[in-house]
Amino acid sequence: MSTYTLDTATSRANPTPAPMRRLTVPAIRRRKAEIAEGGEPLVMLTAYTVRTAQILDPHCDILLVGDSLGQVVYGLPSTVPVTLEMMAAHGAAVVRGSYHALVAVDMPFGSYEASPEQAFASAARLLKETGAAAVKLEGGEAMAPTVRFLSDRGIPVIGHVGLTPQAINALGGYGARGRSAAEQEKILADARAIDSAGAFAIVVEGVVEPIAVAVTEAVSCPTIGIGASARCDGQVLVAEDMLGLFERTPRFVKRFDDLAGRISAAVQTYAADVRSRAFPGPEQIYPARD
C-alpha cells in the first residue's frame, strides 16, 4: 500500500494518489504465461521525476528510472557518466510520485561489473534510498553470476541484452545487433543465461526482429522490447521520445504527440502576453483589501 501522504494545500504534486496495491515482481513474472494465453503485453516507460511518474503511473505496469536520464535530463553524451547518486535521487522521486506501477532503477556503469559483491552493495543502496522494487543491469552470460547473487539475496533483477548502451564504447555505435550468426547466438545465449540466473524480466534492445522473437520464446520470464518486436511480452520507450520532446526520433520510436511544439507555442504566447503587459491580468494579482 502507499505509505506516504502529500500536503495537497501547499504541494504542486497533486492530486494525492488513492492508496492501492503496487504491482509486484511475482505478478510481473506471471504475466509471461498470461500473455501466452492472450493476455495484454506489459507496458513500461521511463520516468525521472515526481510529476512525470504521477502522470505515467496509472497507465504503466513498470516505471523504469533509466540511466538514459544522463542524456535526457543532464545533457550528457551517453549513459556512461551517470552516477549512483543521480539514480538514487531520481529513483526516490519516481517512487514518491507513483503508487501502482512497479518501479525499477537502472544500475549505472561502474556500479556492478567488478564483482557480485560490488553489485549487491550498489543495488542495496538503491533499494534502500529509493524504495524501488527492483534494479536493472546490462549484460548477458558474463553478468549471470551477478544476477544469481542478487536474486538469491532478495534483490529482484531485470536483465538487458542486445544493444547495451553502457557498452557503447566497446560496441562502437548504436546500430541494431544480431545481424550476424555469431551475434545472434550470443544474444540468445546471453538471454538464456540471465533468465536461468533468476532475472524476472529481460529488456531486449535494438536487435533484428527474428532474434527478439527467438529470445522471447527461449526464456521463461517476460521480455520487454525496445527496437525489437511487437511479439515481445511488453514494450518500453523513453517517455520524452514517445511524447515528441526531442527533434530527433530514433527509428524504433513512435511519436505519440508533439509536446515540444505545443510547449513552444504556449511559451510564445506567454512571452507575447508579458511583453504586451497582458499578463498578469486582474485574475493573477492580489488587490489591496477594501
Point out the annotated binding site for Mg(2+): 67, 106, 138
Q: Indicate the length of the chain as a whole number.
A: 290
Is the separation of the CB atoms in 238 and 250 below 8 Å?
A: no
Is the separation of the CB atoms in 169 and 142 below 8 Å?
A: no
Distances (CA, A) of 141 to 165, 214, 225: 17, 17, 19
Closest CA to 26 of 105, 134, 128: 134
Residues in the annotated binding site for 3-methyl-2-oxobutanoate: 67-68, 106, 136
Residues 6+ apart with CB under 8 A from 144: 193, 194, 196, 197
| Residue numbers annotated as active site | 205
Task: Give the span between the Cα atoms of 131 and 194, in whole angstroms.
Answer: 24
Residues 6+ apart with CB under 8 A from 43: 59, 60, 61, 62, 234, 235
Residues in the annotated binding site: 67-68, 106, 136, 138
Task: Give the span between the Cα atoms of 2 and 233, in whole angstroms.
Answer: 27
